[in-house]
Amino acid sequence: MQQKWISGLATGIVVLASLSLFGWSVKQVSTGKSTWPTWIQAPLQSFVGFLDLFEAAKQEVSEYPKTFVRTPEDFVPINTLEEDVTILTSYHNEENTRTVALINLRTGETLKTWTVEQLAIPQDRIVHSIMLPDSSLIYGLDWYSGLIRIDKNSQRIWHQDSIIHHHGKNLAADSTIWACSYEKEAGKPLYYRPIFKTGMAAFPYLDNHITQIHAYSGEVLYHKSLTEILVENELTHLLVKSESPGDPIHVNDIEPALHDGPYFCQGDLFISARNGSWIMHFRPSTGKVIRLLEGPFYSQHDVDIESDSTLTVFNNNCLQNERPTPNKWPMSDRAYEVGSFSSQVVRIHLNRPGFEVLDQDLWEAHEIYSFTEGEVDHLPGGGYFVEEQNSSVLWVIKEGQVRYKNVLPSHHPGYHHLANWARVMP
């Protein structure tokens, strides 16, 4: 009996010593400190790599794609709409493809759907689609596919892949579409070409383009670099005003004028540049910048023509490179409260100097805020629709009251769909 006990103890010591040696060897290999021969290190590195892959796979399985947003447990929807509000939006469906849908927010009814199956990655998004009168749809996978038109039955009609499109796209009065785009080069989905120089250094940066496409044929009719526009109109100083020297412009919306007015002509464009925090009134027919609008809006999105003399914009009201205060900095006991910076809808006057913030108290009370993206669309019967993109909450505000607040529920319990630049339909 004593001999068996001694034998068992010895075996245990040998096993523990072997495990300790193995653990120490794995640690040395993983930190690059091992002095073992290569023929020993190789299998240990494979073991470490397997564990890393296993953890990554476990994490991936336990998380949903970023096309879904966790719904707060205390979320309370609101719906006191008296009139229909129909939006065109998109979402990640149960088949892991994409659905574009017409949805009546008042009733929750889905009026029509299209299905898009050609995806590259699980995070692919369809943003700001356009529905034509024949129920055909123009869409694109943001940053990836170019623009595609499908018929009412989701069958492809044309594919314009000579550009990389992103963010907003809008239909003009002449059956053409204006889209934010980048120039495409074989094998290079995005590339940094222009350079501006200062006393500090030379900065390569990402140029932006504006592109006009015929809605029914897909033909590119106009394609121009924002850098060329700045150079031709002596506005290159705008490049050094951005917090993001590698992406100093970042166009996110192009709003075409649909008719002549006292302060713009049909065909004029209002171009929103997020990283420059400016809006450009541009006339493609002459290549001239009519005016540059800067004011109390920062990192803004979704410029809209509200009337013959006013524009509105979703003011993200944020720093482009938002970061928390580093802990290493010494902090004074004295602090200043300088106000609450929710996002805003800002009205811009074209007939006089001045800006208005609409329903500011309401936005602050409900903490409506989106660091990136976001949009405001005016409703035919008055009031406006808001997409608070980061949290993916949808709002309708009218006469100073919240008439609608909700999310698009998904097939994953506890999660709702990521918002994708819904468009209010007339």
User: In this predicted structure, what is the pLDDT of residue 60?
Assistant: 41
Lowest model confidence (mean pLDDT) among 106-120, 159-173, 178-192, 228-242: 178-192
User: In this predicted structure, what is the pLDDT of residue 276?
Assistant: 94
Distance CA 345, CA 60 (A): 37
Distance CA 268, CA 282 (A): 6
Distance CA 353, CA 290 (A): 16
Prediction pTM value: 0.83
Residue 332 within any structural domain of the chain: no
Residue 45 within any structural domain of the chain: no
- How large is the greatest C-alpha to C-alpha distance in the chain, in angstroms? 106
Per-residue model confidence as pLDDT tens digits over 290-300: 999 999 999 99
Per-residue model confidence as pLDDT tens digits over 73-88: 999 999 999 999 999 9
Residue 121 within any structural domain of the chain: yes
Give the number of domains in the chain. 1
What integer is the mean pLDDT of 292-313? 96
Residue 100 within any structural domain of the chain: yes
Q: Which residues contact 309 (CB under 8 A, 6 or more apart)?
A: 261, 262, 263, 349, 350, 351
- Specify the 3-state DSSP secondary structure of 288: strand
Residue 417 within any structural domain of the chain: yes
Q: Which residues contact 27 (CB under 8 A, 6 or more apart)?
A: none
Q: Which residue has the tokens 């879904």?
A: 68
- Specify the 3-state DSSP secondary structure of 110: strand
What integer is the mean pLDDT of 266-292? 97
Q: Are 424 and 86 in contact (CB under 8 A)?
A: yes
* Domain extent at residue 85: 74-320+342-424
Distance CA 352, CA 354 (A): 6
Per-residue model confidence as pLDDT tens digits over 129-180: 999 999 999 999 887 789 999 999 999 999 999 999 889 999 999 999 999 9
Residue 145 within any structural domain of the chain: yes
- Specify the 3-state DSSP secondary structure of 396: strand
Distance CA 329, CA 282 (A): 44
Query: Would the pLDDT of 59 be above 50?
Result: no
Single-letter code of the amino acid located at 311: L
Instruction: Supply the CATH number for residue 85's domain.
Output: 2.130.10.10
Q: Are 36 and 22 in contact (CB under 8 A)?
A: no
User: In this predicted structure, what is the pLDDT of residue 230?
Assistant: 97
Query: Would the pLDDT of 35 be above 90?
Result: no
Query: Would the pLDDT of 237 be above 90?
Result: yes
Residue 68 within any structural domain of the chain: no
